[in-house]
Structure 1
Amino acid sequence: MTIPKDLLDTLMKDYKNPEDLIGETGLLKQLTKQLLERAM
């Protein structure tokens, strides 16, 4: 599966530092949670 670049741009529009992606409330954690909930 390929993720469209425009979707990635939208998700990262507020990116300022690595904490925004991998921090306690970062994008990676939010995406993981939502993907797992959706899969159930």
Structure 2
Amino acid sequence: RVFDTMLGAILGIVFAVIFSSFDDRRHLARLQREQRTGVGK
């Protein structure tokens, strides 16, 4: 039972890290695109 709880917590953390890094990459890609096209200057 303790193992199941720990496994669930670890999986939750891993998924949170994966999704947050995915969002950050998408945000950074959009910022870089805007800089290249000169938007927002």
TM-score if structure 1 supplies the norm length? 0.49
Higher helix share: 2
- If asked which structure has higher relative contact order (CA below 8 Å, sep 6+), I would say 1
TM-score if structure 2 supplies the norm length? 0.48
Larger Rg: 2
